Structure 1
Amino acid sequence: MATKKQAVKSAAKKSAPQAAKKSAAQKAPAKKAPAAKKSAAKPAAKNSAAKPVAKKSAAPKATKYVYTWGAGKADGNGSMKPLLGGKGANLAEMTRIGLPVPPGFTMTTEVCSYFYDHKRSYPSVLEAQVKAGITNMEKLMGYKFGDAKGFPLLVAVRSGARDSMPGMMDTILNLGLNDDTVKSLATATNNERFAWDCYRRFIQMYGDVVMGVQKLEGEEHEPFETVIEHYKHEQHGENIIDSDLSAADNKELVKRFKALVKARCGKSFPTDPWQQLMGAAGAVFGSWMNDRASVYRRKYNIPAAWGTAVNVQAMVYGNTGPTSGSGVAFTRNPANGTDEFYGEFLINAQGEDVVAGVRTPEPVLNLKKEMPKSYAELLKVRQILEKHFKDVQDVEFTIQEGKLFMLQTRNGKRTAAAALKISMDMVKEKLIDWETAVLRNPADQ
């Protein structure tokens, strides 16, 4: 910088005498000089007047805490994991590359940091940004959040840490249901059993995660599971699977679940969808410090300061009937590295059912017979994901009445033997180079 200043000064010294000589040599009358001065003064006045405007436009904007995605567009991308968490960043990235991802938004990890630094409260601007995020989802889906007359927009609320922490944190599905919206959902879908099934599931998840209706000392089972098991034996004489519960069964279970919440918490189950949403977000942020998550972080050296993001996504439904379902899968076999789709799915089920052990899932390859069109689409998605991410992907998906939706992707964990085979195969397929293959398979693995 010093050299530039010296050069400018030197140039100024040289140009000054030259300008003076030129001015003295000119034959123009002196009276024109004032006009020149006046003309030179105008730009100066404009420049000085423009300075306050520049300062005003440079005023800091409110921190962006909500990043939206949907319909092929996203505020974020896959490189933003520290801010959006792994799930949110990859949902944005899948949206950008044209995959069928239900719209939604991410509350950033900065909200989590604020939450813990300010006695579990939110930044003042967050509410308006969340409402704008919901409005964007309503526009893209064509539904209204809390709509008691038409098809109500329901949302899923999920955690999303920078590094994957499977099973350690909390999820809430079907948020936005109450005694009015469940009826409008039943009418809009002409499927009463489905609507009340969603409501029953929502009360159980929200009651557990947000309201703390959990197993007490001396209780053998989770309280909601105890209620549903007793009801099944009382009404059906056996522990039938949840998908066999009728609309009437689910209505009765909703009543019993609400009574359980009231008895355990001393207050009624919340009916305002906005209250439900912010309560769920707080519970997910709160789950970052629960015992399970804390133990997992210590084991895998994940700093507590990283925090988690919260993802709010429009619900798609795998529990509407025989042409719907949910599943999890790896784009290649994580045990031996074979180039085959590997995973599980359930017909007429929501995503949590697949991992909860409520029913026995089928191998994902069976989808080829059960839902051939959806399976063919899933294979195309598999190829797109591997080509884009250059690695094996661990995905979650839902099929709603034959239409495929992607709910998550992340790099898949694998055995050492599988890692070696996958790397060699991907080099042959020209997905990665030799250097990348070597880095993925250290000698001491």
Structure 2
Amino acid sequence: MTGVYSFDHDHDGPARELGHLLGGKGAGLAEMTGALGLNVPPGFTITVPVCCEYLRTGWPTSLDAEIRAHIARLERAMGRQLGDPNDPLLVAVRSGAPVSMPGMLDTVLNLGLNDDTVLGLARRSGDDRFAWDSYRRFLTMFATTVMGLDEEALEPGTAGATPEQLRGQVHALRETIGELAGRPVPADPFQQLREAIEAVFRSWGSPRARAYRDRESIDESMGTGCNIQAMVFGNRGENSGTGVVFTRNPSTGEALPYGDYLPRAQGEDVVAGNTRTLPITHLAEHQPDAYTELMSTLRRLELHYRDVCDVEFTVEDGRLWLLQTRVGKRGAVAAVRIAVDMADDDAIALTPEEVLSRVPEPVRARARAEVAAEVLAPGTGSSLFATGLGASPGLVSGRVVLTAEDALCADEDVILVRTSTSPEDVAGMSASVGILTTRGGLVSHAAVVARDWGIPAVVGADRLAVTGDEIRSQDGLVVRAGEIITVDGGSGCVWIGEVRTAVADATSAVTERLPHLLRIEQWAGRREVSPA
């Protein structure tokens, strides 16, 4: 059996059911390409069993030939060649495990750039700044992801405003990488590709991936797929951008698209949490035609999967491209509302049995607790510290810790406060009762992981700054490590001090605010009394 499949391969069945073979991302790409005919950049998937073989015995002897054959096919489809100094094909190398592990596994974008191909990219695009910015991004990502260098040690700084500044940054970056790694980033695109694929496979065993699997009870032997896909560029001029969007709100369940968009950027800028993103509705102003097409596509995906979908997309020169879809993770309250609303949607029509399978009793219990927390209010002695984006509902109090290590060492409830979180922080996030970041949007790493784990989180509280062992607001308020704060992941409010219950009857409040839950309980009761 082959270990590599193109996205348009006919699997004689729904590709979305082949996550065990293609990984979740590969299955989604194949489903969007084949079953739905969506605008997906072409590419191919190296299967999960190949990763498992690599981790057991090393690089499979037949893999090089298979990859070269698929690259040749991709070159024909795109009309460009990998390594061509005049009109280079560039590719993205992305992981994709059978189960979603957001941000835990590795990615390399803009692969195929070197000192020659960057000139060809500049000529063909007519945009020197775009070409050198892409090269800067590639070198940084390859050095950190593949060569294992610390990004802070590279001192990449803010991207230069002019092509000349970016060119200087690239030359300085190449020298720094060579000094720190003892070798340069390889110029040969096929060598780049092999090393990037190996890095994706190795990332399955990274400490952050292990910590996430421990929390989620994911099988250690599962492995990941690896997807090689023609690059499309959200950083290519003013009419380009990138975003991540859910077909419905994964925190509240509201039937409106929910996500972030960033003009003139690449996907990692959105999820890393280091950049201030814009609400997805900004795309309607920035690129109205692309927005209209995206909204139509979101509905098609939701009807096809009969579930909420999480979609990554890029707009390149006004054209919409779909880069990923998967069934979206959601909070407990959202799970309740979405399941009932999809039962009422004639085009989806979930059965009561399907609703109960999606919202079992542990999820319903968590939803009750989350709604009860929504109707709490700050007690006397607490004062508003800041507001941000409510990314994961729930209201909790805890002592401030500023590093993942401090969260792991704490013996009481703590709230992890960071400028932004990264996959390296997951163990500390797991040990915290709440999360607060000063940067990032609704689909940043902190937001996605917190929602998945039911940890209340506020992100993008940009009037706060973390300095040394304290958090300082623009209004002059200061909270130090070890002091108590409260975060409300529903409203986005952060208070100094502890918040106490201010509602006498939380049960009636839950029923009033989440009537969907009562309907599910009725269905569950009927199933319990029905004959075997």
2:23 matched to 1:85? yes
Shift of 1:371: 1.0
Counterpart-to-counterpart distance in 1, 2:208 and 2:244: 22
| Residues 33 and 40, structure 2, Cα contact 8 Å, conserved in 1 | yes
- Secondary structure of 1:288's match? helix
Cα-to-partner distance string for 1:160-186 (whole Å, 9 max, x where unaligned): 111000011111000000011000010
Cα-to-partner distance string for 1:264-321 (whole Å, 9 max, x where unaligned): 1111220000000000000110110010001111111111211111111100000011
- How does the TM-score come out when normalised to structure 2? 0.66
2:149 matched to 1:213? yes
Aligned pair partner of 1:228 in 156, 159, 163:
156
Structure 2, unaligned stretches of length 5 or more? 364-532
Cα-to-partner distance string for 1:32-60 (whole Å, 9 max, x where unaligned): xxxxxxxxxxxxxxxxxxxxxxxxxxxxx
2:225 matched residue in structure 1: 309
Higher helix share: 1
Structure 1, unaligned stretches of length 5 or more? 1-62, 216-221, 230-240
| Residues 74 and 95, structure 1, Cα contact 8 Å, conserved in 2 | no
2:487 matched residue in structure 1: none
1:110 matched residue in structure 2: 49
Counterpart-to-counterpart distance in 2, 1:348 and 1:74: 35
Aligned pair partner of 2:85 in 148, 161, 167:
148
2:108 matched to 1:172? yes
1:238 matched residue in structure 2: none
Counterpart-to-counterpart distance in 1, 2:342 and 2:286: 30
Aligned pair partner of 2:127 in 173, 176, 191:
191
- Secondary structure of 2:17's match? coil
Shift of 1:201: 0.3
Structure having greater relative contact order (Cα 8 Å, sep ≥ 6)? 1
- Secondary structure of 2:38's match? coil
* Within-5 A mapping of 1:7-406: 63-70=1-8, 75=11, 77-96=15-34, 97-118=36-57, 121-149=58-86, 151-214=87-150, 222-224=152-154, 227-229=155-157, 242=159, 245-406=161-322
Counterpart-to-counterpart distance in 1, 2:144 and 2:32: 31
| Residues 262 and 278, structure 2, Cα contact 8 Å, conserved in 1 | yes
- Secondary structure of 1:78's match? helix
- How does the TM-score come out when normalised to structure 1? 0.78
Shift of 1:398: 0.3
Shift of 1:357: 2.9
2:376 matched to 1:438? no
Residue identity opposite 1:78 in structure 2: R
Shift of 1:412: 1.0
Counterpart-to-counterpart distance in 1, 2:317 and 2:200: 30
2:392 matched residue in structure 1: none
Q: Compared with structure 1, are the counterparts of its residues 228 and 124 closer, same or farther at alpha carbon in structure 2 (3 Å cutoff)?
A: closer
Of all paired residues, the percent bearing the same amino acid is 46
Residue identity opposite 1:66 in structure 2: V
- Secondary structure of 1:327's match? strand
- State how many pairs are aligned: 358
